[in-house]
Amino acid sequence: MASSRAKRKPASEWTILGTPVPRIEIPAMATGEFEYVQNVRVPGMLHGQVVRPPAVGSTLMSVDENSVRDLPGVVKVVVKKNFLGVVAQKPWQAIQAANKLKAVWTPGTGLPKHSEIHDYLRNNKPTRDTFAVNSKDIDEKLASAAKVMKATYLYPYQMHGSIGSSCAVADVQNGKATVWSATQAVYPLRSTMAMVLGLQLENVHIIFKMGSGCYGCNGADTVSYDAALLSQAVGRPVRVQLTRKDEMAWENYGLAFAIDQRIAVDEKGTIVAWDYEAWSPTLGNRPGTTNPGNVVTGFLAGFPPAPFAARTPAPDPTNFANNNNAVPSYVTGTVNGKSGGTGNVPSERVLSHDVVSPFWTGPLRSPARLQNTFAHESFIDEVAAEVKADPVEYRLRHLSDPRLIDVVKGAAKAANWDTRPSPRNGARRAGIAGGRGIACVLYEGDNGYCAIVAEVDVHQDTGRVAVKRLVIANDVGPISNPDGLRNQLEGGALHGVSRTLNEEVTWDDQKVTSIDWRTYRPLPVGAEIPKIETVLINRPDAQAAGAGETAVTVTAAAIGNAIFDATGARIRQIPFTPERVKAALGRVNG
């Protein structure tokens, strides 16, 4: 039995920790022998497909079961409130039946214009308002400063977009349920599964099977409910694998953000005040132990999402916490006389507004932290350029945490950083222009230090951005497996490149329209991949911290800063599509 009082073995006595131990499941994965949840088969298993509403906010009025009665293999049409699905003998039969089933739905509730989503967030009421820090002297400092700069940064909804769509197998018979699921939370899913099925908790068994890669909340939980509801209706095991459209149109998206920032500097160009205000949507989340309605299937089956708890005005903070990295790295983070931040700027105000989302939302790798860090690390670069300071030097001037300072220095040194202000003097106005940028973070305020240098080429005739090189310095305390750590950093950085350059959920006035790989575009197979180098700072006596979401958090800002260094064009809205890059270049070049 583990004890919280157990002492950690000194690093000098480690024999396995700190060495590159290979993962034991990789050979089976590489040879096709590994059993993912998509590969689970049980005796007597049928296949199911769900029929989602045609529009956001639609509710089910009637179903014509006769419309699929004569199709081969159809076993049953299943209805539970607004949940609708079909069960058949074979997967293709279930897909055909789901497509041909006639159902009448109410009209959708309508969606805000895609191009106006950030204005919608700002104007949406009610809100839940939160101060992370508030020194209560910001307005005074802004009024008396030598110079005040301001900027707005915009981030879209993004999706998990797992390569393999989510799948589950359920066997619900005689008051008992066994569910094979790729959930990230086996015991919470057991609790909510009992609620959805109306069973006693002790009669529900969740068996974890690895599924498609997912940092956060893809369709693994919702498809588990799908399979269980269909199995309960027919009294036999049922396998459900979501179609690409059903997953992409109804998953819990990563958060959109609108962020306003102001920075005041003194006569020497030193930051004296930092003001932040942001708006972000929320609806649902992980189901946890009590809220199956936090994902689409639970909601359609009659369970509400967790209630939105409005709160205005924001109360004063009682303690410092920076779990969502809303507090910039360069302020003191002072609450009730105690400073928990990583910087030395004493005047600080961080005000966040949560609003109700028109779409399901949930954690997506570095939730809120990526969006906030994109804004913070882009903005400090803008200020450094305004006062004609080198971006690395300017960061170091305002940092106080020695470990964050070390990763900044480590990344800059490994990248052979060219010390000078941005943008580059004599930047090319046509053709290909190259530049470098940097960004850093203490993830979640206490869970891993990371800095990254990005080198890019900007193709100014087309607006295409090619990320050529990424240099990552990371400090997670003691390094348990250096190969595993490098893998996390490299994968996170590439995920960051994809989300920075390509990814954005789209919709019309009724429904989501990014429903396949043509309409939602992560980095494709065969994409140009940057050279990635890592600097691992090992602190074996420090507390262990995380690495899986550090590199992805800083990539967007570093790329944006590198584009600015190359061209003088500042892009404040993700993704950096060729159209946005061309527009920014046009503003610079007249």
Most confident option among 16-20, 211-215, 577-581 = 577-581
- Residue 1: per-residue pLDDT: 63
pLDDT tens, 135-144?
Answer: 999 999 999 9
Residue 379 has pLDDT above 70, yes or no: yes
Looking at every residue in the chain, the average pLDDT score rounds to: 96
Residue 106 has pLDDT above 80, yes or no: yes
C-alpha closest to that of 97 among 65, 123, 54: 65
For residues 189-200, give the mean pLDDT: 98
What is the set of domains in the chain, with CATH numbers?
Answer: 37-107+165-250 (3.30.365.10), 257-589 (3.30.365.10)
- With beta carbons less than 8 A apart as the criterion, state whether 467 and 453 touch: no
Of 45-49, 161-165, 201-205, minimum mean pLDDT range: 161-165
* Residue 213: pLDDT band with limits 50, 70, 90: confident
**CA atoms of 128 and 298, how far apart (whole Å):** 24
Quickly list H helices, 117-159. Answer: 117-123, 138-144
- With beta carbons less than 8 A apart as the criterion, state whether 292 and 301 touch: yes
For residues 344-350, give the mean pLDDT: 98
Q: Cα 256 to chain center, whole Å?
A: 10
C-alpha closest to that of 273 among 396, 136, 153, 392: 136
Quickly list H helices, 502-577. Answer: 550-567
Contacts of residue 176, Cβ cutoff 8 Å, sequence gap at least 6: 199, 203, 204, 205
- Residue 552: per-residue pLDDT: 98
- With beta carbons less than 8 A apart as the criterion, state whether 333 and 322 touch: yes
Q: Which residue has the tokens 């929320």?
A: 282
pLDDT tens, 447-483?
Answer: 999 999 999 999 999 999 999 999 999 999 999 999 9
Share of the chain above pLDDT 90, in %: 94
Q: For residue 238, what are the β-bridge partners?
A: 46, 170
For residues 351-371, give the mean pLDDT: 98
Of 4-13, 323-332, 371-380, 442-451, minimum mean pLDDT range: 4-13
CA atoms within 13 A on the CB side of 522: 13
Q: What is the DSSP string of 214-258?
A: -SB--SHHHHHHHHHHHHHHHTS-EEEE--HHHHHHHS-BBPPEE
Q: Which two tokens stand for residue 14?
A: 């480690």
Q: What is the DSSP string of 575-590?
A: S--HHHHHHHHHHHH-
Backbone angles phi, psi at 347, to 5 degrees: -95, 120
Q: Which residue has the tokens 């979640």?
A: 444
Q: Please state, as a whole number, how many other Cβ atoms lie within 10 Å of the Cβ of residue 109.
A: 12
- With beta carbons less than 8 A apart as the criterion, state whether 496 and 551 touch: yes
